[in-house]
Amino acid sequence: MVPTAGSLAQLCSDTSPNDPMMTAAQNFCHGFMVGSYQVLLQVNAARKRPAFCVPSPAPSRSQAIAEYVQWVNASPSNAAMPPTDSVFAFLMQRFPCKAGK
């Protein structure tokens, strides 16, 4: 379990090949992010007005995670958020919907 977005971002960015936990950290990161994204897509679809609108084609998973890590690291308030809440906030800021959507 990761208690904050900052903890998740650290797991997602620790990619030193010399770290024996690198593979486990990356697998956890990608699994957490994909799981959160899939749930948030369903929540978003159930809303009268979507909170975020990911373009088609969407960025790659690795690209989106790298952007998320930068977003978390850019602000102490982002880093202090619960992880899933931070993914939702990131998606809303990164992929805002155009008026009328």
Q: How far apart are CA 36 and CA 95, in angstroms?
A: 16
Q: How far apart are CA 57 and CA 83, in angstroms?
A: 25
Instruction: Look up residue 79 and give its two tokens.
Output: 């880093």
Q: How far apart are CA 8 and CA 32, in angstroms?
A: 9
For the stretch 35-92, pLDDT in tens is 999 999 999 999 999 999 999 999 999 999 999 999 999 999 999 999 999 999 999 9
Global pTM?
A: 0.91
Residue 101: inside a domain, yes or no? Answer: no
For the stretch 31-51, pLDDT in tens is 999 999 999 999 999 999 999
Domain with 58 in it: 5-94
Residue with tokens 């990608």: 30
SS3 44: helix
Report how many domains make up the chain: 1
Residue 99: inside a domain, yes or no? Answer: no
Residue 21: inside a domain, yes or no? Answer: yes
